[in-house]
């Protein structure tokens, strides 16, 4: 079978805004037969190749056997990748500020040429993940809508979307907390922190972009973080049914009594839960209700009110 004749590689893209449970959802879906949890592929160049941070399996990225095989299959080895060039190319197209061009790349030919060049890098990467892991579906929890728009342009991909949402106040508060990255082996590093007002604006724009992707005809299902934690089994069933993915009920038996049994994984970047294995208790994080200041909570509510109502949250 020629490359042209090969069926499209199915990519299930979890999009929205960080601190909304994307890593948890990625890990849960990755327990299903034929699903491969890849984590945040968008950060593979920096977190994986540049920083050599830990893979979800606990091994430095460049030493992980799975990712070594992916690099060899895709590019003849990671050492064959011009990392400076690839990262420069990614930064020139994968930015939310370029949203109009991502919507209509042909409107500016120089941008379209850069986009095509980056797509030509991503195509063998996703194909190699599929070939190495023999996964029917690759789960990419990169979250950024800009990346999803780019994946629309990558030849050989069959893109599906999970639009993951969480109460804007929970998201905004979570981004103010100090969270230490467990994947750094040679130094202490914390995940980024941002003020609530900034995250409120991002919450509106990122969710709006994800909605637009669905309207462009890409198969999509919307999932609420709160529902996912409260009723994980029924939410996974709804996701699979909505996207037309067959499953056997017994394949969800890793979920029981408010906890999930997680196997080792090979995720690139994500929430610290990606390093956890075995029984993990699901706990709804609504700390913002008591810990977030009234002024900050009111400001976030005001900025996000229309979409809060749209997604079923009480302003």
φ and ψ at 162, to 5 degrees? -115, 115
**So where are the chain's domains?**
9-310
Q: Which two tokens stand for residue 190?
A: 């914390």
Q: In the 8-state DSSP scheme, what is residue 258?
A: T
Q: pLDDT tens per residue, the chain (315 residues)?
A: 444 456 799 999 999 999 999 999 999 999 999 999 999 999 999 999 999 999 999 999 999 999 999 999 999 999 999 999 999 999 999 999 999 999 999 999 999 999 999 999 999 999 999 999 877 899 999 999 999 999 999 999 999 999 999 999 999 999 998 877 766 666 777 778 889 999 999 999 999 999 999 999 999 999 999 999 999 999 999 999 999 999 999 999 999 989 999 999 999 998 889 999 999 999 999 999 999 999 999 999 999 999 999 999 998
Strand, helix or coil for residue 266: coil
Quote the DSSP letter at residue 7.
Answer: P
Degrees (nearest 5) of the Cα angle 225, 144, 108?
A: 150
SS3 222: strand
Give the span between the Cα atoms of 30 and 267, in whole angstroms: 10
Instruction: Give, rounded to a whole angstrom, the gap between the first and last alpha carbons of the chain.
Output: 54
Structural contact between residues 135 and 35, judged by C-beta atoms closer than 8 angstroms: yes
Whole-structure pTM value: 0.95
The per-residue pLDDT for 185 is 66
Q: How far, CA to CA in Å, does 293 sit from each of 99, 169, 191, 234, 302?
A: 33, 11, 22, 34, 14
According to the model, what pLDDT value does residue 183 have?
66
Structure tokens at 296: 């900050």
Distance CA 168, CA 187 (A): 32
- Reduce the DSSP state of residue 59 to 3 states and report it: coil
Helix, strand, coil proportions of the chain in percent (round to 5)?
50, 15, 35
Contacts with 186 (C-beta within 8 Å, 6 or more apart), sequence order: none
What does the pLDDT read at residue 147?
Answer: 98
* Cα–Cα distance, 181 to 27 (Å, whole number): 17
pLDDT at 179: 77
Cα-based distances in Å from 102 to 9, 16, 94, 148, 219: 22, 17, 9, 10, 18
Pick the CATH number of 9-310 from 3.30.1490.190, 3.40.50.300, 1.10.3470.10, 3.90.420.10: 3.40.50.300
């Amino acid at each position: 079978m020629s490359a042209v004749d090969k069926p499209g590689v199915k990519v299930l893209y979890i999009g929205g805004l960080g601190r909304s449970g994307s890593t948890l959802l990625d890990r849960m879906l990755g327990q299903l037969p034929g699903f491969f949890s890849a984590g945040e592929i968008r950060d593979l160049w920096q977190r994986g190749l540049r920083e050599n941070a830990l893979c979800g399996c606990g091994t430095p990225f460049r030493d992980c056997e799975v990712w070594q095989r992916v690099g060899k299959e895709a590019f003849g080895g990671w050492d064959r990748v011009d990392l400076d060039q690839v990262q420069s190319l990614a930064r020139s197209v994968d930015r939310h500020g370029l949203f109009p061009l991502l919507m209509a790349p042909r409107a500016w030919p120089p941008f379209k040429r850069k986009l095509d060049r980056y797509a030509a890098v991503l195509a063998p990467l996703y194909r190699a993940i599929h070939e190495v892991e023999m996964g029917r579906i690759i789960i990419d929890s990169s979250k950024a809508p800009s990346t999803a728009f780019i994946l629309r342009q990558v030849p050989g991909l069959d893109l599906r979307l999970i639009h993951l949402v969480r109460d804007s106040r929970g998201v905004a508060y979570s981004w103010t907390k100090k969270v230490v990255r467990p994947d750094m082996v040679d130094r202490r590093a914390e995940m980024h922190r941002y003020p609530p007002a900034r995250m409120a604006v991002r919450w509106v724009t990122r969710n709006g972009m994800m909605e637009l992707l669905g309207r462009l005809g890409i198969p999509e299902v919307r999932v609420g973080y709160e529902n996912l934690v409260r009723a994980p089994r029924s939410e996974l069933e709804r996701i699979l049914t909505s996207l037309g993915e067959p499953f056997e009920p017994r394949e969800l038996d890793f979920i029981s009594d408010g906890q999930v049994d997680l196997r080792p994984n090979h995720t690139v970047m994500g929430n610290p839960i990606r390093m956890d294995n075995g029984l993990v208790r699901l706990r709804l994080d609504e700390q913002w209700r008591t810990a977030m200041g009234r002024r900050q909570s009111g400001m976030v509510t005001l900025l996000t009110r229309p979409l809060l109502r749209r997604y079923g949250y009480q302003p």
